[in-house]
């Protein structure tokens, strides 16, 4: 789910861009180096990194997402947090931080294990990584407005919520979940 409260996003864009740059810098220098860093997917959470690694190990579709992100010029941070005041289990935040080396995106997934099982949480991360790929595939997306414009073309607005959804993200989530069920540890 791409959560886009555009009015609020515009008001907080400058502050968020600064915080995101600060987060990226801190995460880059503070997080341990992992094989995932080369793939363009990072986290400051060792638990999130473990879920991403497990997803890549158990699901060819998940691994493919990581490969495609690594081939892009973007960096995607996956962190635990709450979207839409806790009403969503995960989201790609509508803030794109452009830099000379590419674009930085941030995904939040719920840390609440009572809402999502272990495998469903991995599939949810894959769903949100697909949204990140959708943004990275469109070089014109560099801010909130261009992200909203892109999703108004390729996505479907969510009824009763501010955001968009795509069939590609649902398809990836379903494929990863099926592969995780086949490849249980």
Distance CA 100, CA 103 (A): 8
- The pLDDT, as a whole number, for residue 112 is 78
Distance CA 125, CA 55 (A): 9
Report percent pLDDT > 90 for the chain. 59
Supply 132's token pair. 């990140």
Residue 97's beta-bridge partner residues?
A: 104
- Coil, strand or helix at 184: coil
As a whole number, mean pLDDT of residues 61-84 equals: 94
Q: What is the pLDDT of residues 80-132, one digit of tens each?
A: 999 887 778 899 998 888 877 789 999 999 987 777 789 999 999 999 999 99
Q: Is the pLDDT of residue 32 over 50?
A: no
- The pLDDT, as a whole number, for residue 159 is 78
Name which of 134, 76, 85 is nearest 103 in CA terms: 76
Could you tell me the pTM of the whole model? 0.81
Distance CA 161, CA 1 (A): 10
Distance CA 162, CA 107 (A): 16
């Amino acid at each position: 789910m791409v959560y886009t409260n555009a009015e609020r996003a515009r008001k907080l864009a400058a502050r968020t861009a600064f915080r995101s740059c600060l987060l990226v810098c801190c995460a880059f220098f503070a997080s341990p180096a992992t094989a995932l860093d080369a793939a363009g997917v990072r986290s400051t959470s060792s638990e999130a990194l473990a879920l991403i690694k497990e997803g890549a190990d158990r699901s060819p579709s998940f691994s493919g997402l990581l490969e495609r992100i690594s081939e892009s010029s973007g960096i995607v941070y996956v962190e635990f947090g709450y979207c839409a005041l806790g009403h969503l289990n995960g989201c790609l935040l509508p803030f794109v931080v452009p830099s000379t080396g590419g674009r930085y995106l941030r995904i939040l997934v719920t840390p609440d294990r009572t809402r999502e099982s272990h495998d469903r949480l991995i599939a949810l991360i894959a769903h949100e990584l697909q949204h990140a790929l959708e943004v990275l595939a469109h070089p014109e997306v560099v801010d909130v407005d261009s992200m909203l414009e892109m999703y108004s073309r390729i996505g479907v607005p969510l009824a009763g919520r501010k955001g968009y959804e795509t069939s590609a993200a649902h398809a990836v989530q379903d494929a990863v979940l099926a592969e995780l069920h086949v490849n249980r540890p």
